[in-house]
Every structure is written in structure tokens, then in C-alpha cells.
Structure 1
Amino acid sequence: MRHTRRFRWAAIPIAAALTLVLAGCSQEQLHGFLPGFVAGEKDVTTMTSRVSGLWVTSWIVLLIVGIVVWALIIWCVIVYRRRAGQTGLPVQVRYNMPIEIFYTIVPLILIIGFFTFTAQDQDAIEKPYAHPDLNITVYGKQWAWDWDYTSDNVYDPGEQAQPAPDASQPATQGNVIESELPTLYLPVNEKIDITLKSRDVIHSFWVPAFLYKKDVIPGHVNHMYVTPTRIGTYKGDCAELCGEYHSAMLFRVKVVSKADYDAHIAQLRAEGNVGSLGDQYNRNNNLPGNGSNSDETSNGTD
């Protein structure tokens, strides 16, 4: 009778947890409440489903582990609690080989599994395009972004976010004039190689809906490989604290049709933005490799 009562008390939290898990999930829950997901719409890029799948699966595995651990803890608390009239310490067990093997092997399997699937997805996400349809160079600067449409030989300089003068101004990314944010245009369903460079300090190029961000490091070139698949406007910002106006380093990404992308490029060309806003505008002029410091301009002689 006592054992039956113990089992009932231990079963209550287990049943409650299972009920919560088995109650059913919405589409948003199945995608981990990650940004960019819209029920019935395409993925934002070709890689967002891979990222959300890894994220959600990892949380499911961890939730199962948590439920098992919590259940065991509650079981021990209930079954092995001190009863009225008991004194002294219970019998001490020095070791239990099967249990020690269990809690050594299971975490090892989990770690190997997480590492394997993470490495597999990271390899796919970071794999360079052999033949990209478009090359774009992005320059991070305090506190805005410059776009070099390298394949089309035009550029678009950006300014940092400007505060809205009154409440009538659109400010969906905060109290700023959204229409004046630096806007990067990308053609839908095109393989795009984005080269990331910094003009001054470390920044981070982050488009939350892409589930992808990459550091922008002075003196080092990074790349992002993106194939957007859903037309729309997506917010972006710098995800690395980069100075006083870091919070104003906002931008937008517009994924448009090929025709609209070509029209934007033609507009930039008509405005005279032909050529490149290259490394010559960087604030850091003494980085290794640019030939401007004394050691490199002395031809190696003392």
C-alpha cells in the first residue's frame, strides 16, 4: 500500500510534464519561435529550415533529458524522504558501477550527437558557392553600412539611423526614420556571396530573419553565402558593440524580384554611383598587408 502511494506521488509531475509536451504544438512552436517564420510562406533563405531544425531538435532532446532528471530527483525526494521517528543517517552507498557507467556514457553520446549535427549543418551553411550569381561587398563602419554591388560595379553609401522628428514618422525599428536606413537589395532565388569588411572596429552583420550573422573584423575578410527565397523587407543591425552609436547602426535588406533588383542597380548607376567604395576609405590605414606602415614601405631594409 505504501509503495503504491509513493508511486502515485512520483507519477503526478511526470504525467503533468508529458501532458504539456503531448498537448500539441503550433507551427510557430515547431520552428522554435525563431524570427522570419510565417505559416504558409516560404522559408526566408535556403538555410533557415536547417538552422531552425537543429535548434528545435536540440531543445526537444534537452527537454527530454530535463524531464528524466526532474522525475528522478522528485522520485528520490519522495521515496527516500525522512519519516517520522527515523534518526541517524541512511545506509551510505560508496559507488554503483551500472549507474556511474550510465551517467558517463549517456552525456558522452549526447555531446557527440550535438557536435556531429552542428558540424554537419555548419559545413553546409558555410560552404562557398562554386559559381555565385552575385557578389556584394559590405563595409561596416561607425555607425552605418556601405554596399558595393561588386558584380554590377555600382555602390550605395549608407548613413546611420536618424531619429524621427515626430510620432508621424514611420519607425518600425525604433524611433528612427526607417525609409532612410541603409538598404541592401538582394534578388530572390539567386546565390549571393557577401564579402564582409570593416572600415574601423569590429562589427557584426546580422539579419535575424536569415538566422545568420557574421562578424565584420578589421584586417580580415569574412563571407556569407545566402540564397534568399522569399520576397520581403527584413530588418538588420550590428550585433557587436562598436561604440557610442552602436544602437543606431541599423539597416534593411530588401529581397526583390530580379527585375526590381536590376531597376535598383540602374537607378544607382543613373545617380552616378559607379565604381566602388573600396578599402581606400577605411579608417584603419596601418593594418598588415595594406603597404602603408613604415615596416612595409621600407622594402625590408633598416
Structure 2
Amino acid sequence: MKLTHGERSTAQPAATASRTVKRVGLVAALGLATLVMTGCGPRETLRFGWPTGVTPEAEAMGHLWTWAVIASLIVGFLVWMAIFYAITFFRHRDGEDSFPRQTAYNMPVELTLITLPFLAIAVLFYFTVVVENKVEKKTDDPAVVVDVTAFQWNWKFGYDKVRQDNGTYKVYAVKDGSPFALQAQREAEHGHPLPLPAGGRSDNVRDYLRFSKIETLGTPSEIPILVLPEGKRIEFNLAAADVVHSFWVPEFLYKRDVMPFPKQNHTDPRFQIEKITRTGAFVGRCAEMCGTYHAMMNFEIRVVSDQDFKSYLQWREKGLTNAGALEAICQVPTSVTTVPFETRRKTGGDTPKHLGDTWRPVLQNCTKRAIGAS
């Protein structure tokens, strides 16, 4: 297009801007189409892949994740727009040999580019500390204190104390018990016992291990089920009888190492959750490589109503096994989230595809037994 009086054509920049708008619109349309085709609703989309938890701590971490991703997307969008703007409107064109205007040593611009990233980092750091403090918070009056003992390759759960309706605690902890009872003794030639993981030292070396009147012990044929009440603050006291393990419940969105000798290792073996927000069954796993059968070191958290939890404890006090007490409150007596591992490696027999209803693991057509019934 030829112009007089030395004027420059504006047709090319206008056309370029139009193409840029079309490209941005195409990218937005493709993103929207991707969400629609994957069947993601608004709530799932805003989680940005963060799993759904069952504790307030898990939800707090989810909110931090969501806002961190949104902030990252905003920063990324601004950077992308700046790049597209530069390559669209300031690219080299044929016939133009002029050198673009430089902005080096522009103090206002440089201070802005330094200050804004540091402000973003400071805001992210602040909210990270707030959420971390919530996750690590411990109070002096949890409703239930549970002792968790990990050993190769299973779990033992015991109730240390449980708060009663009148505010006092009912203590189930006992002082007697042997840490070596949790480990299988093996024999060498001529029947001589091999040293256990404690290295043959006395029981007093592992006096940090705790025992209870009401315990659930996992075996190769039975998944240990830890029964907990819904809506109550719970404290877990973790200890390992041999090597380092890890206590992990995916729905808690939290993993905690289970250490032997916590005092000598300068670790706090306790952590708390404010509450579990719904009933159901949740699989738990060891998340620290601990030996041959590490992958099969599973357990189950069974969350019941507060009233059912009280009845469960009363049945355990009367001498019922863990499975028997679960049946008495009309709960499925075996795990519905995972299966035991036969250490003899039997052939045949696959893991069932459906073990049970994890949302409502109750016995059908069941009437809860009265405590006084035989």
C-alpha cells in the first residue's frame, strides 16, 4: 500500500494484532474443550489434581495448593503475554534497520521486576507457614490417643487413653510387655536363637515402646484394623520396634516417619489430626522401604460414629476380639481396603477386584448387640 507525505502503513500491525487475538481465543477454546471432554466439574478443576482428603488439615493443604497454582498460572499468563507481545509487535521486519529503543538501567523498571517476585515469594511463604502450623498443631486434650507400633512387616495398634463424656480420661496403657514379642524369633544351627533387630540388647533399651489393654495386632492372615471415632481430635504416638517405617493414610494426605529410638533420633513421635470428617474405611500403608515384605505392610483405618466407637471399646473390654467387636456394632469384621499377604507366596488366587464398600462398610440386615447381651 503506497502512501504520500512519508506516512507509514498501519494495515500490517492491525492485521498482526487481529491474528494474535485469534490465536489467544483458539488456545482458550482448546483449554475449555479439554475440561469438558475430561468430564471435570468446576470443583474438581479448581483442585488442580489435589486429592480429596478427610481431615481439616488435608483441606487446608488443598486450599494452599489451589491458590499456589492459581498464582503460578497468573504469573505464567503474564509472562506468556509479554513474550507474545514482544515477538508480535517488535519483531524485525524487512526493510527496517533501526535499532530498537533500549531500556537498560531503567531503575523504576528494574526495581519493579525485583520487588514483585520477592513479594510473591513472601506471600507464598507466609501462607505455607500458616498451613504447616495447622497441620503440625498439637493440643493437650485429644479425645483419643493411639499408640502405633510398626515392625517388620506389620502393625500393632493400642489405645493409650480415651476421653470420657465427663472430661476425664480412661487409661488403657499398661507398663508390662516385651518389645521382642512383636518380632518372630528365628533359630540358627543347633537351635540357637538368632539376635533380634534390637541387637540382642535388653528390653529396657526399647522402653519407648508402649502397650495397651486393648490392642490390635496384624498378622500374615489378618489386616489390622484401627477403629476411630468420627469428628474427634486424635493423637497418634508412633514407634518402630526395629527399623525405620512410615505411617501413611492417603486420605489424610500426610505421611510421618516411624522411627526407632525417637529420643536418640531427636524426633517427636506424636502428631494429631483435628478430626476425621466422615465415616468409612481408609487404607494405610508403610511408605518407607523396610525390607523384603515392605510393599505388603498395610493396615486399615475404620471410622465409625462416636456412639459406635464407645460400644466398640466396651465390647473389647469384655474380651471380644477386634473382629468380634466390629461385628457387634454391625461393621464388616475384616478389611475392605486391602488383603493380607501370605508370606509363603502361595500360587494361584488373585486379589479380589472388589473387597467391600469403603464408604459404608457395614453388615447388611444386622442389629447392633446390646452391651449386656452375651
Is TM more than 0.5 here? yes
Tell me, in whole angstroms, the C-alpha distance in 1 between the residues paired with 2:312 and 2:132.
Answer: 33
Query: CA contact under 8 A between 1:31 and 1:56: conserved in structure 2?
Result: yes
Letter in 2 for 1:65: V
**SS of equivalent to 2:64:** helix
Identify which of 255, 259, 274 aligns with 1:213.
Answer: 255
Tell me, in whole angstroms, the C-alpha distance in 2 between the residues paired with 1:184 and 1:97.
Answer: 62
> Are residues 215 and 10 of structure 1, via their aligned partners in 2, closer, same or farther at CA, if it must alter by over 3 Å?
farther
What does 1:1-302 align with in structure 2 at a 5 Å threshold? 1-16=11-26, 20=31, 25-36=41-52, 44-84=54-94, 94-151=104-161, 152=172, 153-159=213-219, 180-220=222-262, 221-226=268-273, 227-269=275-317, 270-271=319-320
Tell me, in whole angstroms, the C-alpha distance in 2 between the residues paired with 1:111 and 1:21.
Answer: 30
Tell me, in whole angstroms, the C-alpha distance in 1 between the residues paired with 2:294 and 2:89.
Answer: 55
> Are residues 149 and 9 of structure 1, via their aligned partners in 2, closer, same or farther at CA, if it must alter by over 3 Å?
same
Letter in 2 for 1:228: I
Higher RCO structure (Cα 8 Å, ≥6 apart)? 1
Residue 109 of structure 1: how far off its partner (Å):
0.9
Residue 134 of structure 1: how far off its partner (Å):
0.9
Residue 246 of structure 1: how far off its partner (Å):
2.3
Residue 216 of structure 1: how far off its partner (Å):
1.7
**SS of equivalent to 2:261:** coil
Letter in 1 for 2:45: Q
Residue 65 of structure 1: how far off its partner (Å):
1.0
> Are residues 76 and 230 of structure 1, via their aligned partners in 2, closer, same or farther at CA, if it must alter by over 3 Å?
same
Letter in 1 for 2:134: A
Residue 119 of structure 1: how far off its partner (Å):
0.7
Which digits, 9 at most, give the CA deviation of each residue in 1:91-137, with x for residues without a partner?
76644433322221111111111111111111122111221111101
**SS of equivalent to 1:150:** strand
Paired residue for 1:298? none
Tell me, in whole angstroms, the C-alpha distance in 2 between the residues paired with 1:47 and 1:90.
Answer: 53
Deviates most, 192-201 or 52-61: 192-201
**SS of equivalent to 2:139:** coil
Tell me, in whole angstroms, the C-alpha distance in 1 between the residues paired with 2:95 and 2:296.
Answer: 67
TM-score by length of 1: 0.71
Residue 254 of structure 1: how far off its partner (Å):
0.9
- Equivalent residues, number: 249
Paired residue for 1:175? none
> Are residues 216 and 12 of structure 1, via their aligned partners in 2, closer, same or farther at CA, if it must alter by over 3 Å?
farther
Moved over 6 A (4+): 21-24, 86-92
> Are residues 101 and 25 of structure 1, via their aligned partners in 2, closer, same or farther at CA, if it must alter by over 3 Å?
farther
Residue 27 of structure 1: how far off its partner (Å):
2.0
Query: CA contact under 8 A between 1:145 and 1:251: conserved in structure 2?
Result: yes
Which digits, 9 at most, give the CA deviation of each residue in 1:159-210, with x for residues without a partner?
36x7xxxxxxxxxxxxxxxxx3222111111111111122222222121212
Tell me, in whole angstroms, the C-alpha distance in 1 between the residues paired with 2:238 and 2:251.
Answer: 18
Residue 261 of structure 1: how far off its partner (Å):
2.2
Unaligned runs of 5+ in 2: 1-10, 162-171, 173-212, 263-267, 323-374
Unaligned runs of 5+ in 1: 38-43, 163-179, 274-302
> Are residues 249 and 17 of structure 1, via their aligned partners in 2, closer, same or farther at CA, if it must alter by over 3 Å?
farther
Letter in 2 for 1:225: Q
Tell me, in whole angstroms, the C-alpha distance in 1 between the residues paired with 2:22 and 2:294.
Answer: 50
Query: CA contact under 8 A between 2:153 and 2:294: conserved in structure 1?
Result: yes
Tell me, in whole angstroms, the C-alpha distance in 2 between the residues paired with 1:182 and 1:272.
Answer: 11
Deviates most, 264-273 or 69-78: 264-273
**SS of equivalent to 2:91:** coil
Paired residue for 1:286? none
**SS of equivalent to 2:50:** coil
Tell me, in whole angstroms, the C-alpha distance in 2 between the residues paired with 1:261 and 1:93.
Answer: 70
**SS of equivalent to 2:56:** coil
Query: CA contact under 8 A between 1:17 and 1:67: conserved in structure 2?
Result: no
Query: CA contact under 8 A between 1:137 and 1:150: conserved in structure 2?
Result: yes
Deviates most, 190-199 or 26-35: 26-35
